[in-house]
Chains A and B, each alone.
Chain A
Amino acid sequence: MGYNLIYGARGRVDLGNYILKELLKNGKLSLRFKDSFYSCLSCNACLQVCPAGVNAGKVSELSRRLIADYDSFTTENEQKTAKMIVNVTMKYMNPLGVREKCANWSRDIAFDSKSKSLFYTGNMFQLMPYSISLGKMKKKIGKKISDRISEFISNHPSFIKIVGMSADRDLSDRMREELRNIVRLLKDSGISFSYLGEDEPYPGTFLYDLGYEKEFSEYANRVYSLFKSKGIEELIVLDPHTYDILSSKYPKYVKNFDLQVVYYLDLLDISKFNRTNVKTTIHEPCLLVRGSKENNSPVEILSKLSDLELPNRNGKNTNCCGGPDELLYGEIAERVAEERFTQLERVKAQKIVTACPVCFANLNKKSNVVELPDFLTTISGEK
């Protein structure tokens, strides 16, 4: 697939150019480009290697919007899953209709219900077990049947509840534990916060990524209003995707967006952790290293607390984990993850650390792969 130029940055830029010209000339799209732009990982790795400095990621983002706006999906090529996600998200404020279940991890944890700082998971950790499970199911039943199911759910969103049975149990346990780890780490650093529990909404990342700008705009304003109605002033976010959508996209779509968005790593008191001699390597999340975030980076933390050796591709040149393609283009996601995992294994570290639930779900191929909160909890002596 990757050998075909339409699945590469250059090809996407050429196709984007073609789309613009065709729209200007004819006011409609005659060709079908969806697979090219929807398979883009949005990792912005292309920006680091393009000798002409063209931002092919941005081209994909804008083209997805045009394809959605002009409904330029063909019957045979249409990504039913995408439409399903949009409709279900709008109805349940969760892309898989499992909003209530996303609060299960928090049982027995005491939050400060009066705090105006909100522990906001964005449902990301909780959704990964469903996403992985759905990917496996799609592979098993084939594209044709999978498209039919998606089309049906798209028209009858209530039937999405069926996916409640299909979360990957092992991953679900790991993700649940990661969230609890983050709570512990923050509390140990003296931070108090509230949590919305079953009322917690998904931030709408998929709507934006799939190009449904109008729906995203409407949705983002709903989410913002919900936070405001609860008296929230600050959002403590836990993953790069939620951080990115809230800090760089919400302010453009929500008028007078005035919530403080804080990354949880910035709140941790690193001096409280014991340094370990464990040799580590890290898969840096694309959105952190190539995004706008300037913070207590996972690399800084790990280099202070462990014997960190970076993989060959690191920093702005890091490769993606493949995660963003998991639901729509599982085959691409799998191949990208395999390639990245091989690079990480070459370091021969005792622990391969990830710092994003999406990255973890895709790179969790051996028992030495750990999420950063898990690693930090271990060395802080909590485990």
Chain B
Amino acid sequence: MDIKSDLKKISGENILTSQEELIPYVRDASPFHGEPPLAVAIPENVTELSRIVKYCYEHDILMVSRGGGSSLTGSSVPLGEGIVISLAKFDKILETKIEDRYVVAESGVRLDALNEHLSNFDHFYPPDPASSRICTVGGTISTNAGGLRGAMYGVTKDWVLGMEVVLPNGEIVQFGSKTLKRSAGYDFTSLMIGSEGTIGIITKAILKIWPKPEKTGRILSYYEKIESGGKALAGLKAKGINPLIAEFMDRISLESMRVAKGIGYPERTNYMLMIDIASTAESLERQMNDAAEILKEFNPISLKLTTDKREMSEMYEARKGLYSTLLSQRKSASEYLILGDVVVPASELPAALNEIERAIKKHGIFVSIFGHIGDGNIHANIFSDPDDVENMRRVDNFQMELGRIALSHGGSVSAEHGVGIEKKELLKEEFTMRNSPGTLSLMKAVKLAIDPKNLMNRGKIFD
């Protein structure tokens, strides 16, 4: 059996086999390196994709699907001898129905491209991971990605109505529909969300869309203690103000933004809150003033209000680019950043953060913390040096403790990055601590029911 030539018979020029061409597919945005695949398939359409998958299934060849390659947990890194299937050519927006508030997009469409298209209709697709310029519809569904706007709009699972999927045996199936309501048996759409390419390859999706907010304004408030920020946000919610965005950043994050983007902050600041309010043009000012009054009650060092689009855009982009600006804080070129991603109920966030700060000190590592305070999502960004064995041991221990802290506050070990390779042990820990090992067994049973040969993205989520 000559796999490469067989695949070329199916897909011709869309099969890459030279060593040079395979190198970039060994990695994604995580620190994990996989093994060079036998080939990379970049099919043109679902029929071609289905034939490739069917061939792999019949010949027991491992398959890893790949969208934008922006996974932070190694979801799209190929493990074992198999092929990578790139959805790069599934990049078309097929249907836009404003009156029914949905869009049908192929899975390789990048989120920013989708929103650029929707902005022509004054609508948008709310999930906005920081990697929205490169991440894709399929990839974000596969990891149930979130983002900055989660405080008001939730995450990907709240915006997917249905999808087309190629199953591990090559069969093409349709899940969900174009309607908001549907009560017709098992909800396989939900099953696919967060499945990280382990039970099928998403080829297109029906996504809910929403009118763009008429006007938005921003309040930046600076605090010495995170408790004040947490209480301030709770105060807003208690008064019925639901922010569009509610982000927090620690001093290390703020300092890296100052160095990279020239965005300053008051001297005594340890944490900053970034609160965006969306409203009508007529009531925005009143709502911002109301919110500012509440925030003032919690002793901020200072408060800044703006509706200037350019200023807001600069800060928004700086926040989205925080991962890259943090790289400037590395102590050596061999260091890289592990992006921790846990979640707790929003009200538990200040207490959880205090415990995390203590854990950082205990493990003696350098960590920057920012995240989505509106939905309790904490990103602990760990500066790690693979050349330093002792440092990596401490980093691993801290990661485990970080997960346990989140679980002890009723949260989860993964908020929006998925499990991939990185969090397999943490996922076990989550179900152990919740006294529910059966959940993991059930996940494995579902996987084997749909993919009995365990060919799709083997070694991800669990072994």
Residues of A within 8 A of B (CB): 3-6, 8, 10-11, 14-15, 18, 31-33, 36, 49-54, 312
Pick 19 A–B contacts, CB within 8 A, sort by A.
Answer: A3-B86, A3-B89, A4-B21, A5-B21, A5-B25, A6-B21, A10-B69, A14-B26, A15-B24, A18-B23, A32-B20, A36-B20, A49-B133, A51-B131, A51-B321, A51-B323, A52-B327, A53-B325, A53-B327
B330 CB to nearest A CB, Å: 12
A28 CB to nearest B CB, Å: 15
Q: Which 7 A-B pairs have the closest CB atoms?
A: A53-B324, A11-B24, A5-B24, A3-B88, A14-B24, A49-B133, A51-B131
Q: State whether A4 touches B324 (Cβ < 8 A).
A: no
Q: With the chains together, A221 CA to B21 CA distance in Å?
A: 38
Could you say which residues of chain A place their CB within 8 Å of the CB of B70? 51
Could you say which residues of chain A place their CB within 8 Å of the CB of B21? 4-6
Q: With the chains together, A31 CA to B88 CA distance in Å?
A: 25
Contacts of B294-328 to chain A: CB distance below 8 A: 320-321, 323-325, 327
A121 CB to nearest B CB, Å: 37
Task: Name B134's contact: one of A18, A51, A53 (CB within 8 Å).
Answer: A51
B179 CB to nearest A CB, Å: 32
What are the interface flags for B395-419 relative to A under an 8 Å C-beta threshold, 1 for contact and 0 otherwise?
0000000000000000000000000
Most chain B C-beta atoms within 10 Å of own C-beta, residue among A3, A8, A51: A51
Closest B residue to A34 using CB positions: B20
A381 CB to nearest B CB, Å: 35
Known interface pairs A5-B69, A6-B23, A31-B20; 20 further A-B residue pairs with C-beta atoms within 8 A, sorted by A's residue number: A4-B16, A4-B21, A4-B42, A5-B21, A5-B86, A6-B21, A14-B23, A14-B26, A15-B23, A15-B24, A18-B23, A33-B20, A49-B133, A51-B131, A51-B323, A51-B324, A52-B29, A53-B321, A53-B325, A312-B116
Known contacts: A6-B20, A14-B23. The answer to whether A51 contacts B29 by CB under 8 A is yes
Q: State whether A6 touches B24 (Cβ < 8 A).
A: yes
Q: State whether B324 touches A52 (Cβ < 8 A).
A: yes
Count class of interface residues, chain B: 20 to 34
Q: State whether B133 touches A31 (Cβ < 8 A).
A: no
A360 CB to nearest B CB, Å: 26
Q: With the chains together, A11 CA to B86 CA distance in Å?
A: 13
Asked if B359 lies at the interface with its beta carbon under 8 angstroms from chain A, I say: no
Could you say which residues of chain A place their CB within 8 Å of the CB of B116? 312
Q: With the chains together, A247 CA to B116 CA distance in Å?
A: 36
Q: With the chains together, A245 CA to B102 CA distance in Å?
A: 49
B153 CB to nearest A CB, Å: 21
Residues of B within 8 A of A (CB): 16, 19-21, 23-27, 29, 42, 69-70, 86, 88-89, 116, 130-131, 133-134, 320-321, 323-325, 327
Closest A residue to B112 using CB positions: A49
A15 CB to nearest B CB, Å: 6
Q: State whether B24 touches A51 (Cβ < 8 A).
A: no
B90 CB to nearest A CB, Å: 10
Could you say which residues of chain B place their CB within 8 Å of the CB of A52? 29, 323-324, 327
Closest B residue to A346 using CB positions: B120
Could you say which residues of chain B place their CB within 8 Å of the CB of A33? 20
Closest A residue to B88 using CB positions: A3
Q: With the chains together, A49 CA to B70 CA distance in Å?
A: 12
Could you say which residues of chain B place their CB within 8 Å of the CB of A8? 24
Q: With the chains together, A109 CA to B129 CA distance in Å?
A: 58
Q: With the chains together, A31 CA to B26 CA distance in Å?
A: 16
Most chain A C-beta atoms within 10 Å of own C-beta, residue among B24, B27, B29, B324: B24
Closest B residue to A54 using CB positions: B324
Could you say which residues of chain A place their CB within 8 Å of the CB of B327? 52-53
B134 CB to nearest A CB, Å: 7
Closest A residue to B70 using CB positions: A51
Could you say which residues of chain A place their CB within 8 Å of the CB of B25? 5
Closest B residue to A53 using CB positions: B324
Known contacts: A51-B70, A51-B131. The answer to whether A14 contacts B27 by CB under 8 A is yes
Could you say which residues of chain B place their CB within 8 Å of the CB of A10? 24, 69
Could you say which residues of chain B place their CB within 8 Å of the CB of A53? 321, 324-325, 327
Q: With the chains together, A312 CA to B23 CA distance in Å?
A: 34
B119 CB to nearest A CB, Å: 8
Could you say which residues of chain B place their CB within 8 Å of the CB of A15? 20, 23-24
Closest A residue to B260 using CB positions: A53
Could you say which residues of chain A place their CB within 8 Å of the CB of B89? 3
A296 CB to nearest B CB, Å: 21
Q: With the chains together, A53 CA to B322 CA distance in Å?
A: 10
Task: Name A51's contact: one of B16, B42, B86, B130 (CB within 8 Å).
Answer: B130
Could you say which residues of chain B place their CB within 8 Å of the CB of A51? 29, 70, 130-131, 133-134, 320-321, 323-324
A184 CB to nearest B CB, Å: 36
Could you say which residues of chain A place their CB within 8 Å of the CB of B133? 49, 51
Could you say which residues of chain B place their CB within 8 Å of the CB of A31? 19-20
Most chain A C-beta atoms within 10 Å of own C-beta, residue among B116, B321, B325: B321
Q: State whether B42 touches A3 (Cβ < 8 A).
A: yes
B196 CB to nearest A CB, Å: 20
Q: With the chains together, A3 CA to B87 CA distance in Å?
A: 9
B264 CB to nearest A CB, Å: 20
Closest B residue to A2 using CB positions: B88
A342 CB to nearest B CB, Å: 13
Q: With the chains together, A259 CA to B429 CA distance in Å?
A: 67
Could you say which residues of chain A place their CB within 8 Å of the CB of B131? 51
Could you say which residues of chain B place their CB within 8 Å of the CB of A49? 133-134
Could you say which residues of chain A place their CB within 8 Å of the CB of B16? 4
Q: With the chains together, A50 CA to B324 CA distance in Å?
A: 8
B59 CB to nearest A CB, Å: 24
Could you say which residues of chain B place their CB within 8 Å of the CB of A14? 23-24, 26-27
B267 CB to nearest A CB, Å: 27
Could you say which residues of chain A place their CB within 8 Å of the CB of B325? 53
A52 CB to nearest B CB, Å: 5
A189 CB to nearest B CB, Å: 31
Closest A residue to B87 using CB positions: A3
Q: With the chains together, A10 CA to B29 CA distance in Å?
A: 10
Most chain A C-beta atoms within 10 Å of own C-beta, residue among B19, B21, B134, B321: B21
Could you say which residues of chain A place their CB within 8 Å of the CB of B29? 51-52
Q: With the chains together, A150 CA to B130 CA distance in Å?
A: 46
Q: With the chains together, A49 CA to B135 CA distance in Å?
A: 11
Q: With the chains together, A14 CA to B26 CA distance in Å?
A: 9
Most chain B C-beta atoms within 10 Å of own C-beta, residue among A4, A5, A10, A14: A5
Q: With the chains together, A36 CA to B321 CA distance in Å?
A: 26
Q: With the chains together, A136 CA to B448 CA distance in Å?
A: 55
Most chain B C-beta atoms within 10 Å of own C-beta, residue among A3, A8, A50: A3
A72 CB to nearest B CB, Å: 11
Q: With the chains together, A33 CA to B24 CA distance in Å?
A: 12
Q: With the chains together, A46 CA to B215 CA distance in Å?
A: 30
Q: With the chains together, A11 CA to B42 CA distance in Å?
A: 15
Q: With the chains together, A8 CA to B16 CA distance in Å?
A: 15
Closest B residue to A313 using CB positions: B116
A164 CB to nearest B CB, Å: 38
B148 CB to nearest A CB, Å: 14
Could you say which residues of chain A place their CB within 8 Å of the CB of B27? 14
Could you say which residues of chain A place their CB within 8 Å of the CB of B24? 5-6, 8, 10-11, 14-15
A309 CB to nearest B CB, Å: 15
Q: With the chains together, A317 CA to B278 CA distance in Å?
A: 26
A69 CB to nearest B CB, Å: 18
Closest B residue to A30 using CB positions: B19
